[in-house]
Amino acid sequence: MWLTRSVKPFTFKNEYDSSLPFSDCDSLGLYIHIPFCKSLCNFCPYCKVPYEKDLCDRYIDALIQEIHLVGGSHDGKKRTTSLYFGGGTPALAVNRLSEIIAAIREHFIITEGIGIELHPDNVTPTVLQACKDAGVTKLSIGIQSFNTKFQHILGRCAVKPDRLQDVLSQVTFETVSMDFIFALPGQTFEDLKTDLDIAFQIGANHVAIYPFIDFSFTDSPVTSLPKKEKRELLDAITLYCQTQGYTRNSIWTFSSDKDARYSSMTRDNFLGFGCSATTLLKDQFKINTFSVEEYCKRIHEEKLPTSLTLRFTPRQRMVYYLFWTAYSTEVDSAAFEAFFGVPLRQMYGAELKLAKLLGFITEDNGIYRMTLKGAFYYHYYENYYTLAYIDKMWGILRKEAFPSQIIL
């Protein structure tokens, strides 16, 4: 309320638009969700269903149709930044990856590469070559931990670093990112440091270290570390990465190659395709239905699969912009003014002054950068936002394909 200068809540309504107004959006990214998994991890909150080949093929048919429904509303090809595939397990549809990307290329020009998430079991020469042949330039491998103790806690099988190294040496990519979870019970700095060291040794040039979050609707018995221990762990691994010469690309990501990037989050606007995918445009935010069957049904009727729509007030959109832009650890006041047409200091001068006094940020020529302290508190409030807002919304959307509204 303080940042939006309003007591008006964020209200997501079951409102339908026949097209998405993305033509005048700059810095537009693309995301595609593939919800299928061979087995369902009990800690994972994302939209996912057990893999069935016939259902997967029917879903991919609908996905391609959705791409044409959205893309066909724009004259010519729209210039975009990057395309990311998430899930679920996108590799389960690797045989149709080229077909999906070809549909995207009919309507969009991709300028910054294509990324795909992979389960460690999917890292095989055949899958990697199929990804590369389709045009993929970035990989994100969901390791979570190389330590068998923590793999057991998460209910996952052990990951063999030597096998990954061998396969990754056979098929090369611009970015190879590996994801890890931190703040697991009993996890220490040495545990996390060992994970990162192994990752960079076997072929990663980028790592993501995400906090464990105990969503209310998952079946995971795992609980996260307390706030104090979590901060000590995040600060310690950040300082270690800095001493190793790694570049901090965002709150939770580091790279050994400054040009290595993997993030579908820090974009001004984006279009989401597939069930549960979200779309962020200049004045609205949309979420597709979480139901695979209802998604396919809507597309078969040649209707967009939107479940909920949020119409932003100007201040709400500014807060959303700042929240996700700050994920990169810096906010450029010139970019804010170019996007909204008003100076950042005019809108949030008092907040910026307070953040500097508290030691959360520094300023250099209009660019505000987070300090180590500021990065932790961003993480802390992002965790709060996730549990207070996303947890509630996803919990409802997992049960209802098209709820009437959700007020946050």
pLDDT of residue 264: 62
- What is the band of 65 on the pLDDT scale with cuts at 50, 70, 90? very high
**pLDDT (tens digit, 9 = 90+) per residue, 277-287?**
999 999 999 99
Confidence check: pLDDT of 299 > 90? yes
pLDDT of residue 372: 93
pLDDT of residue 262: 84
- What is the band of 326 on the pLDDT scale with cuts at 50, 70, 90? very high
Q: Which two tokens stand for residue 383?
A: 């965790």
Q: Is residue 341 part of a domain?
A: no
**What's the mean pLDDT in 385-400?**
91
**pLDDT (tens digit, 9 = 90+) per residue, 71-116?**
999 999 999 999 999 999 999 999 999 999 999 999 999 999 999 9
Which residues form the domain of 36? 18-255
Q: Is residue 328 part of a domain?
A: no
Q: Is residue 179 part of a domain?
A: yes
Percent of the chain with pLDDT over 90: 85
Q: Is residue 276 part of a domain?
A: no
CATH number at residue 160: 3.20.20.70
Percent of the chain with pLDDT over 70: 98
Q: Is residue 125 part of a domain?
A: yes
**What's the mean pLDDT in 206-228?**
91
Distance from first CA to last CA of the chain, Å, rounded?
11
99 close to 76: Cβ distance less than 8 angstroms: no
- Residue 35 — φ and ψ, nearest 5°? -85, 5
- Residue 208 — φ and ψ, nearest 5°? -125, 130
pLDDT of residue 4: 60
CA-CA-CA-CA torsion sign (237, 242, 246, 247): positive
pLDDT of residue 2: 54
**What's the mean pLDDT in 306-317?**
95
**Mean of all residue pLDDT scores within the chain:** 94
**What's the mean pLDDT in 307-331?**
93
Domain total for the chain? 1
**What's the mean pLDDT in 143-168?**
96
**What's the mean pLDDT in 178-192?**
96
pLDDT of residue 7: 67
**Could you identify the residue written with the tokens 């056979």?**
170
Q: Is residue 222 part of a domain?
A: yes
9 close to 319: Cβ distance less than 8 angstroms: no
Q: Is residue 344 part of a domain?
A: no
pLDDT of residue 258: 84
pLDDT of residue 259: 85
Confidence check: pLDDT of 6 > 70? no
pLDDT of residue 21: 94
Q: Is residue 29 part of a domain?
A: yes
Confidence check: pLDDT of 261 > 90? no
Strands 247-248 and 253-255: antiparallel
- What is the band of 5 on the pLDDT scale with cuts at 50, 70, 90? low
Confidence check: pLDDT of 3 > 70? no
